[in-house]
Structure 1
Amino acid sequence: MGNFVFLFLACILAGFALINLPLAGSALAAIQPITSLIGILAILVFSLVLIFKGIIALVDK
C-alpha cells in the first residue's frame, strides 16, 4: 500500500484543482457548487487516509 501514497497526494491536488476551477461565465457555471463539494470531499478523504497510513506506520515500528 506504500506505493499508493503518491496517488493519494495526486488526488488531494486534484481536489484543490476542482475547488479552484473557474467556471464562471461558462455553460458549466451551474455545477460550480458540485465541483467544489467533490473537491472538498476528495481533500478530506485522502488527507484522512494519509494520516491513518502515517499513524499505522508509526505504530508498526
Structure 2
Amino acid sequence: MINFKKLLRLLWLIVFMILASVGVGLGGGVPLPLSARKRDATEVQTELPESDKKATKIAEFKRKE
C-alpha cells in the first residue's frame, strides 16, 4: 500500500509537470514587468544659481589695484 501511494504521488507529479509545460508552451510564459524608471525617463534637472561671492571677490580685487 505504501508503494502504491508513492507511485500515485509520482504519477500526479509527472501529470502536473506535463500540464504546466503545455500551459507555458501555449501561453508563452509570464511577461516581465517593466521598471518604472524606464517609463518615467523625463527628469527635471535644475542648476543652482552662481553665488555672488565670486563677483564680490573680483570687484574687491579690482578696487585694490
TM-score when normalising by structure 2? 0.42
Which structure has more relative contact order (CA 8 Å, sep 6+)? It is: 1
